[in-house]
Amino acid sequence: MSDIGKTDELCRLDDDKAAAGIQKLIDAMPFYVILVDEDHCIALANQATAGVLGRDVREIIGGYCPKIVHGLDHPFEGCPLEEVVAGGRAISKELQNAKTQAWMESVIYPTSLKTVAGKRVYYHTVRDITEEKRAQEAERTSGAKYESIFNSASEGIFQTSVSGQIVTVNPAAAEMLGFATPAELIDSFPNIGEMYIHPAEKEELSQLLQRQDVLVAYEVRMRRRDGETIWVSLSFHRTRDASGAITGLEGMAVDVTAKKNAEAGLRESLSRLEESFSGLIGALARTVERRDPYTAGHQRRVATLAGAIAGKLGLPEEQLRAIDMAATVHDIGKIYVPAEILNKPGKLTETEFDLIKAHSQAGFEILRDIRFDQPIAAIVHQHHERLDGSGYPQGLVGKDMELGAKIIAVADVVEAITAHRPYRPGLGIDVALDEIRQNRGRLYDAAAVDTCLALFEAGEFVFDYS
């Protein structure tokens, strides 16, 4: 037996012209093609096959396939050709080479071609599918991973078509909306648009989606199966196909009802707290002013001017509220100053003046334990401090002062100079404005001074002595 097994001229194709045409055709194939008869004799083989075997095509033709391809003197066990010959039907097998781990797809099917000996010819292709198998495996693994995440996630996951048709939801999404299974949810709400309770929210959402592809934590009200309303936080993106055309939406849904309720409760208790705090502040302010009729209305006027300055400076809402509260009670510490000193018409002695000066500290002591998210007590403490450190009680410099205190300091001085005092008549607004103008940036905050001057000069602010 030759090194290519038994050679058989008779297993040539019976039609030379057809053989030449087939040869051309199969030579163009990038994988292995062999035409073999039922006795495993090779009738034709392509260049790819000859190449991998290190032979010339003409050498292979007429050879014994098991010998040439596998180096065997007989068909290997499970040879697919035997099966096809026996069954008369095409078969396809994927075989892995134990040594190289490479995967081959072997396809054999009967043809109507015959050899010169009248034997049926079978078309046999072998294709390396290792890469395809790897890709499939990777996809299967990631698919399995995704499926596991999809099914076990505590967040709802969904996909919709362009028209809002729900394509997929996971068990968490179904449960969130009161359904036993994803299928039940899809049957009841085939379109995601039907799940929104408020048309305005649905409309806003669809308008946002016209402008952007991604939406994060958009909170919207949805209807559960039992009719209950829940707040759902939606985060999703538009999905697109390979050509970039929009195919729908894909994203997550989280039930945030508990969080929303807690927020609402907190807002309510905060506003109740603020209301009672404002009430308390008002009561405290009146207490001081009853003992000190000459400064009656002083705190309110300072609060109005400080608020106007702070508003012009563009401070945020909560800071404006803090400045208003602090200014309304900035002299609260005067309840510890003896009434006769507060109301003394003449000049004060140094000791008396020291007692008056203690009111900033006393105010701080009164307010320090009231819990508030803004530094009301500190602002009151600092309202007589000056930028250059010449103020009291701590001798702070500008950088250590609260902005609210700097603003109130300006408003306080302007109001105090303008108004009547037990020991002198009011000096008028021009004197007051001169004081802050001359000490702008030295004693008083420049921005607060500029804003205050602008307010008076433009006639946008006047004190209300009613």
CB of 332 to Fe ion, least distance (A): 9
**Residue 331 binds to Fe ion (criterion: CB under 5 A):** yes
Least CB distance from residue 212 to Fe ion, whole Å? 53
First to last CA, the chain: 128
Sign of CA dihedral 98, 100, 101, 106: negative
Smallest distance, Å, CB 384 to Fe ion?
A: 6
- C-beta closer to Fe ion: residue 43 or 335: 335
- Nearest distance from residue 401's CB to Fe ion, in Å? 15
**Whole-number Å distance between alpha carbons of 13 and 28:** 19
Nearer to Fe ion, 38 or 365 (CB): 365
Residues 193-252 that bind Fe ion (CB under 5 A): none
Nearer of residues 113 and 380 to Fe ion, judged by Cβ: 380
Q: Does 450 bind Fe ion (CB under 5 A)?
A: no
The interface region with Fe ion, picked from 29-37, 162-170, 328-336, 373-381 by CB under 5 A, is: 328-336
Contacts by 450-456, CB closer than 8 A, 24 or more apart: 451/309, 451/312, 451/313, 452/305, 452/309, 452/410, 452/411, 452/414, 454/312, 455/305, 455/308, 455/309, 455/312, 456/429
Q: Cβ of 151: how many Cβ atoms within 10 Å? A: 12
Stretch that binds Fe ion, among 213-221, 283-291, 298-306, 326-334 (CB under 5 A): 326-334
Nearer to Fe ion, 324 or 331 (CB): 331
292 scored as a contact of Fe ion (CB under 5 A)? no
Which CB sits closer to Fe ion, 130 or 287? 287
Q: Are residues 384 and 352 in contact, defined by beta-carbon separation less than 8 angstroms?
A: no
For position 324 contacting Fe ion by CB under 5 A, the verdict is no
HEC assignment per residue over 272-315: HHHHHHHHHHHHHHHHHHHHCHHHCCHHHHHHHHHHHHHHHCCC
Which is closer to Fe ion, CB of 331 or CB of 445? 331
Q: Which stretch binds Fe ion (CB under 5 A): 151-159, 201-209, 324-332, 420-428?
A: 324-332
Q: Rounded to an integer, what distance in angstroms lies between the CA atom of residue 250 and that of residue 160?
A: 6
For Fe ion, which stretch binds (CB under 5 A), given 8-16, 262-270, 325-333, 397-405? Answer: 325-333
CA-CA-CA-CA torsion for 133, 136, 141, 145, nearest 10 degrees?
180
Q: How far is the CB of 386 from Fe ion (least distance, A)?
A: 13
Q: CA–CA separation, 74 vs 427, rounded Å?
A: 124
Residue number, 36 or 326, with CB nearest to Fe ion: 326
Q: Which of residues 58-87 bind Fe ion (CB under 5 A)?
A: none
The residues binding Fe ion (CB under 5 A) are: 331
